[in-house]
Structure 1
Amino acid sequence: MVLVRVYGQNTELLIDRKAETANFLLLQKAGYAPRLYATFNNGLAYAYVPGEVLTSNMVKNPSIYPLVARMLAKLHNVECGPSMSKEPVIWRRTYHYLSLIPPTFTKCQLQKRFVECFPDGIDFLKQELQELQQNLSDIKTDVVFCHNDLLLGNIIHNDGKVTFIDYEYAAYNYQAYDIGNHFAEFAGVSEVDYSRYPNKEFQISWLNIYLSEYNQCKNAAGTVTFSEINDLYLEVNKFSLASHLHWAIWALVQAHHSAIDFDFIG
């Protein structure tokens, strides 16, 4: 079965479609993506991935979450060519999204909600982003090839295997960001419930599995130490803040430009 995906209205403002195709081909070559059959100006065609999309219950299932942890560790070890920037994408991309937020929303209800949430407007968001960048930039987490959008809907489970789909945001980024973003997605999208954010016990177990696979892919000797796990745990939960701010700014852009019937501001 072949899937044909047509790009949404104004998505080129947020997504580099040439980079998406390059990501697809890179991961296909590594054996982590379905076959890409064709690309065209406003979409692409690729092989269907059979299976179930993860739910908030499935993602914590003891038989499933280790598969996700190991798969992400493998993806984080994918080697890219010299043409791809090795700089963490999060700051550059988020500042770009910030520049796309309109001074005033054309829909009165959106403008009212924006002012309620952000009385100081875009300047407040810019200040928050600058402070967050300053506080996180000194953290010595690895910079690796990341998915950058590992929400539950982008993980397909089938017969003891998981496949990640949708690579339009993939790029080099902080290792801890990609994991923190995944954990933040446990809360859901349309019906958000932050009580579903994974607790420390779950995260420690998840990170232990992840690091074991990550080190094995790098041919690193020795067992994973608690110090390694705890360091990454602290990094992940700090970078999850960057994930929240990044997608909040993304949502404001979508609220103005997207034709999708979705309450991006809430």
Structure 2
Amino acid sequence: MVIKTMNSLIPSCSSPEDLKRVLQTLGSSWGDVVEDLERLEVIPLKGAMTNEVYQINWPTLNGEDVHRKVLVRIYGDGVDLFFNRDDEIKTFECMSHHGYGPKLLGRFSDGRLEEFIHARTLSADDLRVEETSNLIAAKLREFHKLDMPGPKKVLLWERLRTWLKEARNLATPIEQEEFCLEAIEGEIDFLEMNITWADQEIGFCHNDLQYGNIMIDEETNAITIIDYEYSSFNPIAYDIANHFCEMAANYHTDTPHVLDYTLYPGKEERRRFITKYLGSTGDATSEEEVDRLLDDVERYSLTNHIFWGLWGIISGHVNKIEFDYMEYARQRFDQYWLRKILLLDLPYRDSVNKDDSL
């Protein structure tokens, strides 16, 4: 559709004039696009749950059929409860500087413009294609090895406790009881004590590696990981666990909040991914090393369910994107209690206290 006014261009943008100025500045630097912003074509991109994302097709002076493409990201309501936006922008710029992900083209008060990557965003089904999954495993290993600025400190436990506090502040008494929020602090303590140890590998983790944050160039098979809002240093086992948990989701259906845990990868599929992940650097990998990471990933899946369960409760109160956050949170916590019982049978290694593990 062709947009008539700037206000209708991005309906939820609270500062259309700011966006217009950024677009005009960008257009002037390019010099080959039409000046009339009314002729921009705007396409909402589905599947985003933290922000709203739009593709803009910008006609050039070379003809109506020739366009430059830009991605506009409108920050979701209340997202500052989840991460520091300035830190996220620094990460974005650092990643871009090192040749990862899109370039930052401009910022306005409640969003930003990004380079449009000419690659295909993966679908839920793509994660189950062995060749594609192997590419993701290798790329994730590369991502974890990035030497990002700042302290190499695990953020997971601090973030879980901060989000729990926010969830308690926002939840109604009925929700507090339904989600057993009074018990969750003890569960976080239990997990930190039992799955944290001195020799765990820490890396720069994406923390939200769902299929919509992975793109593939179908000519070169190059994988690009995008959207770094939740990125931080964490145990690599946590990030891999997050990726496996996301295989239960399909955010491009009529019920995007519904999770199907029958789609969670089986042991052999998980082993194949981890073997490819560890072996992608060319170093020799032992079966013992694979088995150890395989078990660690399963344990960290428990923290992943709490993480996104709390995210769902908070988002349900602050975010206006059309998504049933509370039902999503309910499924995550249900899965946590179910999986905790099953995973207690895994042999635990000697745990260490939190300070020794950082």
Q: Could you tell me how far 1:115 is from its partner in structure 2?
A: 2.8
Task: Tell me, in whole angstroms, the C-alpha distance in 2 between the residues paired with 1:223 and 1:14.
Answer: 38
Task: Choose 1 or 2 for highest CA Rg.
Answer: 2
- Counterpart of 2:131 in structure 1 is 63
Structure 1 counterpart SS, 2:187: helix
Q: Could you tell me how far 1:114 is from its partner in structure 2?
A: 4.9
Q: Could you tell me how far 1:35 is from its partner in structure 2?
A: 1.2
Q: Which amino acid aligns with 1:250?
A: W
Q: Could you tell me how far 1:192 is from its partner in structure 2?
A: 0.7
Q: Verify the 8 A CA contact 2:168 2:176 in the aligned structure 1.
A: no
TM-score w.r.t. the length of structure 2 is 0.66
Task: Tell me, in whole angstroms, the C-alpha distance in 2 between the residues paired with 1:98 and 1:154.
Answer: 25
Structure 1 counterpart SS, 2:314: helix
Structure 2 counterpart SS, 1:167: coil
Q: Could you tell me how far 1:201 is from its partner in structure 2?
A: 0.7
Q: Could you tell me how far 1:72 is from its partner in structure 2?
A: 0.4
Q: Verify the 8 A CA contact 1:177 1:239 in the aligned structure 2.
A: yes
Task: Tell me, in whole angstroms, the C-alpha distance in 2 between the residues paired with 1:62 and 1:102.
Answer: 41
Q: Verify the 8 A CA contact 2:170 2:314 in the aligned structure 1.
A: no
Q: Could you tell me how far 1:133 is from its partner in structure 2?
A: 1.2
Q: Which amino acid aligns with 1:49?
A: I
- Counterpart of 2:151 in structure 1 is 85
Q: Could you tell me how far 1:31 is from its partner in structure 2?
A: 1.7
Q: Could you tell me how far 1:11 is from its partner in structure 2?
A: 1.1
Q: Could you tell me how far 1:139 is from its partner in structure 2?
A: 6.3
Q: Verify the 8 A CA contact 1:56 1:196 in the aligned structure 2.
A: no
Q: Could you tell me how far 1:179 is from its partner in structure 2?
A: 0.5
1:199 aligns with 2:262: no
Please list, as runs of the form range in 1=range in 2, the aligned pairs for 1:1-266 lying within 5 A after superposition: 1-81=69-149, 84-103=150-169, 105=171, 112=174, 114-118=176-180, 122-138=181-197, 140-159=199-218, 160-188=221-249, 190-213=257-280, 215-216=281-282, 222-266=283-327
Q: Could you tell me how far 1:196 is from its partner in structure 2?
A: 0.8
Unpaired segments ≥5 residues, structure 1: 217-221
Q: Could you tell me how far 1:105 is from its partner in structure 2?
A: 3.7
Q: Could you tell me how far 1:117 is from its partner in structure 2?
A: 3.8
Unpaired segments ≥5 residues, structure 2: 1-68, 252-256, 328-358
Structure 1 counterpart SS, 2:284: coil
The runs of 4+ residues in structure 1 deviating greater than 3 Å are: 102-106, 111-114
Q: Which has the higher contact order (CA 8 A, sep 6+)?
A: 1
Cα RMSD over matched residues? Answer: 1.7
Q: Verify the 8 A CA contact 2:203 2:235 in the aligned structure 1.
A: yes
Identity of aligned residues (%): 30
Structure 1 counterpart SS, 2:247: helix
Moved more, 16-25 or 35-44: 35-44
Task: Tell me, in whole angstroms, the C-alpha distance in 1 between the residues paired with 2:177 and 2:121.
Answer: 36
- CA 97–104 in structure 1, closer or farther in 2 if over 3 Å, else same: closer
- CA 228–150 in structure 1, closer or farther in 2 if over 3 Å, else same: same
TM-score w.r.t. the length of structure 1 is 0.88
- CA 226–42 in structure 1, closer or farther in 2 if over 3 Å, else same: same
Q: Verify the 8 A CA contact 2:242 2:304 in the aligned structure 1.
A: yes
- CA 104–174 in structure 1, closer or farther in 2 if over 3 Å, else same: closer
Q: Could you tell me how far 1:55 is from its partner in structure 2?
A: 2.5
Task: Tell me, in whole angstroms, the C-alpha distance in 2 between the residues paired with 1:227 and 1:262.
Answer: 42
Q: Verify the 8 A CA contact 1:89 1:171 in the aligned structure 2.
A: yes
Q: Verify the 8 A CA contact 1:87 1:173 in the aligned structure 2.
A: yes
Task: Tell me, in whole angstroms, the C-alpha distance in 1 between the residues paired with 2:168 and 2:272.
Answer: 43
Task: Tell me, in whole angstroms, the C-alpha distance in 2 between the residues paired with 1:102 and 1:256.
Answer: 11
